[in-house]
Amino acid sequence: MADRVPLLLDTDIGSDIDDAVCLTYLLAEPRCELLGVTTVTGRPRRRAMLADAVCRAAGRPGVPVRSGCERPLLVQQRQPEAPQAEVLPRWEHRDEFAPSEAVEFLRRTIRERPGEITLLTVGPLTNAGLLFAVDPEAASLLGRLVMMGGCYFEEGRGEWNTSGDPLSSQLVFSAQVPELLAYGLDVTTRCTMPADQCRERFRGGPFELVREMAEVWFRRRDRITFHDPLAAACIFEPDICRYRAGTVRVDLERGEEFGLTLFDEAEDGPHRVACDVDEERFFGRFFEVTSVFGP
């Protein structure tokens, strides 16, 4: 398919269930050329096993999966475990992942295809921040960077991915990326589905595994918020959302706003952040794409 998008996914799969849902969507999306998956934050090798298991359940064992950074830069780790990994004994997956391979894998892959690749980050930004720190040119060699992260129009509200590693987040927002699009809590929290409806609709292929992983999530939650799948779907259908342009920075002062994303709106700003979403269109697109896995 001529218009396929070469894409790298950086994820903290294994904590919030929406990462696994996002990966399932990308494996079904016919316009996605999934070049690899990298994992980040606590127990990254266990998270890599989960990503590999989802790929195998989708019939895609050849998707490269690399384990990444385990700890954020300069701040305390907030998610040391990967609770959904408890399902791994029941699913085929690769067990051996070398530590800390993600940054080099991202760097090498981006340099092999300059100007082409979309990097989608849906976890803390440690891998991406370190990538741009050790190889600043890699940012300019991307086609674009798309992230689920931040909160831009609700004052004082933090978001897990950007505040989980504030220094790395600032490294990403200050990098010379040709295009940066951010999907924050302003829009993602509007895309939710109750647990019983998710159980009913997650059927076939990798959804069988995702449904098991979701049961771990449902012990403490009664619904799934499709944070990461929204960012993924908008890569291919960007007008699911509306956007505002400006500059995003991260508060690095150790006060009450430490780690918050701060948005200065400007028509010529280097960043675009989602400000509105058509939830019905998103869910329609999501389940249309993933219907390939069947009931």
The mean pLDDT of 253-279, rounded to a whole number, is 91
The number of angstroms, rounded, from the C-alpha of 49 to the middle of its chain's C-alpha atoms is 17
Residue in the structure block whose two tokens are 């690769």: 94
The number of angstroms, rounded, from the C-alpha of 101 to the middle of its chain's C-alpha atoms is 18
Residue in the structure block whose two tokens are 């019939």: 59
* CATH match of 5-293 with 3.90.245.10: yes
Residue in the structure block whose two tokens are 């980050």: 121
Going from N- to C-terminal start, the domains of the chain cover 5-293
Q: List the Cα angle 73/78/82 in 5-degree steps.
A: 110
- The answer to whether residues 265 and 164 touch, using CB atoms and an 8 Å cutoff, is no
Percent of the chain topping pLDDT 70: 98
The count of C-alpha atoms lying within 13 angstroms of the C-alpha of 51, restricted to the half-sphere facing its C-beta, is 31
Q: List the Cα angle 178/249/19 in 5-degree steps.
A: 70
User: In the numeric block, which tokens belong to residue 116?
Assistant: 């082409």
Neighbours of 74 (CB within 10 A): 10
Nearest alpha carbon to residue 33 among 6, 10, 2: 6
Q: Is the pTM of this model over 0.95?
A: yes
- The answer to whether residues 148 and 188 touch, using CB atoms and an 8 Å cutoff, is yes
- The answer to whether residues 29 and 68 touch, using CB atoms and an 8 Å cutoff, is no
- Residue 100: DSSP 8-state: T
Within 8 A by CB and 6+ apart from 170, the residues are 129, 249, 250, 252
pLDDT at 1 over 90: no
- Structure confidence at residue 106 (pLDDT): 98
Which of 69-73, 134-138, 291-295 shows the lowest per-residue confidence on average (mean pLDDT)? 291-295
What confidence tier does 155 reach under pLDDT thresholds 50, 70, 90? confident
